[in-house]
Amino acid sequence: MSWLFDRLTDLAVADRLEIVVDTEPLEQLDPMLHRAERLPATAVRRGCPNPLDAWVREPREVRFIASGSTRAGVLFAELGEHDLAVAVAAHAPGATMKVDNVADLNSLLDALITMRSYVQRIPN
C-alpha cells in the first residue's frame, strides 16, 4: 500500500496534473471532479479524448487516468512512469492498478485531491 501512497504523493506535488476519468456512472464522480477543477495547475477531462484530437502533454505534467471502458487500453498506452492508470471493474492492458467499482475510485480521487489541495496551500 505504501507504493500507492508514494504514487499519489508524487501526483499531488506535481507542477501540473491532468485527471482523466472515462467510466460510468460518471455523475457519481462529479462532486470530486469539480473539487479537482478548482485546484491550480490541475486539468480534468471526462471521457476518452477523440483519437483525432492532439493530446499533448504539457511540460512537467503527470496524469491520473481512470477508465472502466473498452477504450482503457488506448488511454493507458502512452502513460509514463510517473503517471497512474486505474482500471475500474475491468482488466486493462497498461493499468497500474485496479479498483472494483466507482465508489473505490471516488475514494482514491478524494485522497489525491485532498493531498494536492494541502500541498498547494504551503508557501514555497
- Residue-wise pLDDT tens digits, 54-93: 566 677 789 999 999 888 888 888 788 889 999 999 878 8
Pairing outcome for strands 16-22 and 97-99: unpaired
Q: How far is CA 102 from CA 32, 116, 120, in A?
A: 12, 21, 26
- Residue-wise pLDDT tens digits, 23-61: 888 889 999 999 999 999 999 988 876 654 556 667 778
Q: At 10, phi and psi to the nearest 5?
A: -60, -40
Q: At 44, phi and psi to the nearest 5?
A: -125, 130
Q: Work out the number of other CB atoms within 10 angstroms of the CB of residue 40.
A: 9
Whether 120 and 30 have beta carbons less than 8 Å apart is answered as: no
Tell me the whole-structure pTM to 2 decimals: 0.89
Q: How far is CA 59 from CA 26, 62, 123, in A?
A: 28, 9, 22
